[in-house]
A and B are shown apart, each in its own frame.
Chain A
Amino acid sequence: NAGVTQTPKFRVLKTGQSMTLLCAQDMNHEYMYWYRQDPGMGLRLIHYSVGEGTTAKGEVPDGYNVSRLKKQNFLLGLESAAPSQTSVYFCASSYSPPGAGETQYFGPGTRLLVL
Chain B
Amino acid sequence: GQNIDQPTEMTATEGAIVQINCTYQTSGFNGLFWYQQHAGEAPTFLSYNVLDGLEEKGRFSSFLSRSKGYSYLLLKELQMKDSASYLCAAVAYGQNFVFGPGTRLSVLP
Minimum CB–CB distance for A95 against chain B, Å: 13
Task: Name B30's contact: one of A4, A35, A42, A101 (CB within 8 Å).
Answer: A101
Is A44 within 8 A of B99, CB to CB?
Answer: yes
Is A103 within 8 A of B99, CB to CB?
Answer: no
- Give the residues in chain A near B89, CB-CB below 8 Å: 43
Binds B, one of A13-21, A61-69, A71-79, A104-112: A104-112
- A58, CB-defined interface residue at 8 Å: yes
- Give the residues in chain A near B8, CB-CB below 8 Å: 40
- Give the residues in chain B near A105, CB-CB below 8 Å: 45
Known: A99-B30, A101-B48, A101-B50. A43 touches B43 (CB 8 A): yes
Minimum CB–CB distance for A94 against chain B, Å: 10
Cα A103 to Cα B91 in complex, Å, equals 11
Minimum CB–CB distance for A87 against chain B, Å: 14
Cα A50 to Cα B30 in complex, Å, equals 19
Is B101 within 8 A of A58, CB to CB?
Answer: no
- B33, CB-defined interface residue at 8 Å: yes
Of chain A, the residue at the smallest CB distance from B89 is A43
Minimum CB–CB distance for B90 against chain A, Å: 10
Q: Which residues of B contact A (CB under 8 A)?
A: 4, 8, 30-31, 33, 40-45, 48, 50, 87, 89, 91-97, 99-102
